[in-house]
Chain A
Amino acid sequence: MTDNAGAWVPSARQVERDRYRRRRTRRRGLVAAASTVVVLGVLVIAVVSAPGWDRVQQTYFDPAMARESVGPVAEAFVTNVELFLIAEVMILALALVVAVIRVAPVPALMPLKILATVYTDVLRGTPTILVILLVGFGLPALQLQGVPESRFVLGLIALTLSYGAYVAEVLRAGILSVHPTQWASGRSLGLSYATTLRLVVLPQAVRRVAPPLLNDFVSLQKDTALVSAIGLVEALRAAQVITQRNFNFTPYVVAAVFFIVATIPLARLTDWLSLRAARRDSGAA
């Protein structure tokens, strides 16, 4: 800022401060690492030295079984990823429509508003597994024209319906949290209701609810396994088949590892976004 900014040399005191901070950071890192090693070590020793460990290892952590199941499980896991990616887009679209219908002060939308409210109330209250069973077996049983028969599509519909209700509520909360003066500012400039919503309010709302939204998607990622209930071959189902053939649970553990690894990037992204949002709110960013 000042004219001699380029010529600025840190004072002796500042140099000492920086040195102290570096030392402190290093010390904290060492303490964190040491305590992690100790705690994990104790845990591992406790588990491994437990009387039943040998049996547990054989049934859950059998290396040969793991090698045998990794291929089929990985192949089936592609279905989970597809389910997740497509459902995510459909959920966002459905949730956006439902949230906007619920907040828009348009009298003509009244029947839709009632429908949207009933939808969120019912689907948030119904366990996802039940929705999957009802849609997966119920829809085709109606024998209506145009009802899809593919289990993949039925699973997709069920997940979308179930998660759409949650995500709609998250979005609605975000829209309502935008300060009313933002609406007034948009409208007072002559922007229409729809334009104000789209260009002024929604961007702020989405930014604000991004962390809880991503959290819902982390949860969706693993709930794709629930679709196995209607017989779709995905990772869990594939693992189940091998398990039942060999009376060994290692394939389940392998499947679990796939799910965990897949959710970690999203979880870290959520952390990072929350942190950034918190920083921005405190005015530091």
Chain B
Amino acid sequence: MAFLSVRQVRKRFGTNDVLRGVDLEVEAHEVVCLIGASGSGKSTLLRCLNLLETVDDGVIELDGVEITDPQAAVDAVRRDVGIVFQAYNLFPHLSVLDNVALAPRKVRGTPRRDAERAGTELLGRFGLTDKADAHPDALSGGQQQRVALVRALAMRPRVLLLDEVTSALDPLLVGEVLEAVRDLKREGLTIVMATHEMSFAREVADHVVFLDDGLVVESGPAEEVLTTPSDPRTAAFLARSLRTGEKRSGFGTIAG
């Protein structure tokens, strides 16, 4: 059975059916990219996986345990499932290191010194050593997103959810953050990420899932979905994002 399994998940906000029976399987150590138009439900799905939203129907299982069970230990699940949002991630009143060390200390009960040592080490791996004492507002957008990644990683999650972590960044910073994601993949972390960076999805994703209007329209190996989509809606979406994507001066050059 898959490590993370989503079956017939539904979510509605008022009369707006945002997820209309989503199925998704993610194997351990796999990187899955969610693509789809704005409003198709990518963020909502990720928020459901982290239990920040309660599903209206369907089942989500993590390593064989149903986390959508109302009796599930919510905070325990969230310890295992890290999430990084698009923006407003970091705690502005805390230094970078405190941002990173807070949850290990308060949730896992790690002594401050150990949490800070581990945090410093993680920051170092992402080229942020000299920013440990800075406050978030003194960092560039790319640095902030890398700190957000580090903060999620400091909890040693089993799955990392990334919600368009690069969409507020210029191409150079996009490369910075994506390089970090690539490292994590190499280390075998299981990652589900919503993204608009098609070239990155092609390069790093094992599977690509195309979401349209609250349904998984197509999913499969990255190469297959992105080059020879079988559904016309996928094809239309890819054609559109390719046109706009090229105008963004191309991420490919940075990734190369």
Residues of chain A at the chain B interface (Cβ within 8 Å): 179, 181-182, 184-192, 195, 199-200, 203-204, 207, 280, 283
Question: B82, A188: Cβ atoms under 8 Å?
Answer: yes
B89 contacts A by Cβ under 8 Å: yes
Find out whether the CB atom of B107 lies under 8 angstroms from the CB atom of A190. yes
Q: Nearest CB to that of B104 among chain A residues?
A: A189
CA distance A186 to B75 in the complex (A): 11
28 contacts across the A-B interface (CB closer than 8 A): A181-B88, A181-B89, A184-B47, A184-B52, A184-B83, A185-B90, A187-B52, A188-B81, A188-B82, A189-B78, A189-B103, A189-B152, A189-B155, A190-B75, A190-B79, A190-B107, A191-B75, A191-B102, A191-B106, A191-B107, A192-B75, A200-B91, A203-B93, A204-B91, A204-B92, A204-B93, A207-B93, A283-B137
Closest chain-B Cβ to A198's Cβ sits at a distance in Å of: 10
B: number of interface residues (CB 8 Å): 26
In the bound assembly, the distance between CA atoms of A41 and B83 in angstroms comes to 66
Asked if residues B89 and A185 are in contact (CB atoms below 8 Å), the reply is yes
Q: Which residues of B contact A283 (CB under 8 A)?
A: 137
CB-contacts of B76-98 with A (<8 A): 76, 78-79, 81-83, 85, 87-93
B190 contacts partner chain A, Cβ-Cβ < 8 Å: no
* B44 within 8 A of partner (CB): no
Give CA–CA (A189, B81) in the complex, Å: 8
CB distance from B133 to the nearest CB of A (A): 16
Q: Assuming A181-B85, A185-B85, A280-B137, is B103 touching A190 (CB within 8 A)?
A: yes
Question: In this assembly, does B151 line the interface, its C-beta being within 8 Å of a C-beta of chain A?
Answer: yes
Q: Give bound CA distance, A202 to B152, whole Å.
A: 21
* CB within 8 Å: A-B pair count: 58
Q: How far is the CA of A184 from the CA of B84 in the complex (A)?
A: 10
Q: Which residue of B lies closest to A280 (CB)?
A: B137
Q: Are B83 and A182 in contact (CB under 8 A)?
A: no
Complex interface: chain A residues within 8 A of B106 (CB):
191, 195, 199
Query: How far is B88's CA from A200's CA once the two chains are assembled, in angstroms?
Result: 13
Q: B155 touching A190 by the CB < 8 A rule? A: yes
A interface SS class: helix
Partner of A188, one of B83, B87, B102: B83
In whole Å, how far is B113's beta carbon from the nearest beta carbon of chain A?
Answer: 18
Pairwise interchain contact B85-A199, C-beta atoms closer than 8 A: no
Asked if B68 CB lies within 8 Å of chain A CBs, one says no
Q: Complex Cα distance A190/B85, Å?
A: 15
Partner among A188, A199, A200, A280 whose Cβ is within 8 Å of the Cβ of B52: A188
The chain A residue with its CB closest to the CB of B138 is: A285
Chain A CB within 8 A of B166 CB: no
B88 touches A179 (CB 8 A): yes
Whether, in the assembled complex, B145 has its beta carbon less than 8 Å from a beta carbon of chain A, the answer is no
Partner of A184, one of B85, B90, B91, B155: B85
Sort A-B residue pairs by CB-CB distance and give the 10 closest, nearest first.
A189-B103, A181-B88, A190-B79, A190-B107, A190-B78, A188-B83, A179-B88, A203-B93, A190-B75, A188-B50
Contacts of A187 in B (CB 8 A): 52, 78
Most chain A CB within 10 A, of B75, B81, B91, B102, is at B91
Residues in A with CB closer than 8 Å to B151 are: 189
Interfacial chain B residues near A179, Cβ < 8 Å: 88
**B31 vs chain A, min Cβ distance (A):** 20
> For B107, what are the chain A residues with a Cβ–Cβ distance below 8 Å?
189-191
In the bound complex, residues from chain B placing their C-beta under 8 Å from that of A207 are: 93
Q: Which residues of B contact A186 (CB under 8 A)?
A: 91
| CA distance in complex: A283, B85 (Å) | 22
Q: A204–B137 Cα gap in the complex (Å)?
A: 13
Can you name the residue of chain A whose Cβ is closest to the Cβ of B80? A190
CA separation between A224 and B62, bound complex, in Å?
A: 60
Residues of A within 8 A of B87 (CB): 181
Residues of A within 8 A of B83 (CB): 184, 188
Closest to A283 in B: B137
Q: Cα distance A280–B135 when bound, in Å? A: 12
When C-beta atoms are compared, the residue in chain A nearest to B102 turns out to be: A199
Extra inter-chain contacts (11) besides given A189-B152, A191-B75, CB under 8 Å: A181-B88, A185-B90, A188-B81, A188-B83, A190-B75, A190-B103, A191-B102, A191-B103, A191-B106, A204-B93, A283-B137
Of A188, A199, A200, the residue contacting B78 (CB under 8 A) is A188
Chain B positions 192 through 235: 1 when the CB is less than 8 Å from some CB of chain A, otherwise 0 = 00000000000000000000000000000000000000000000
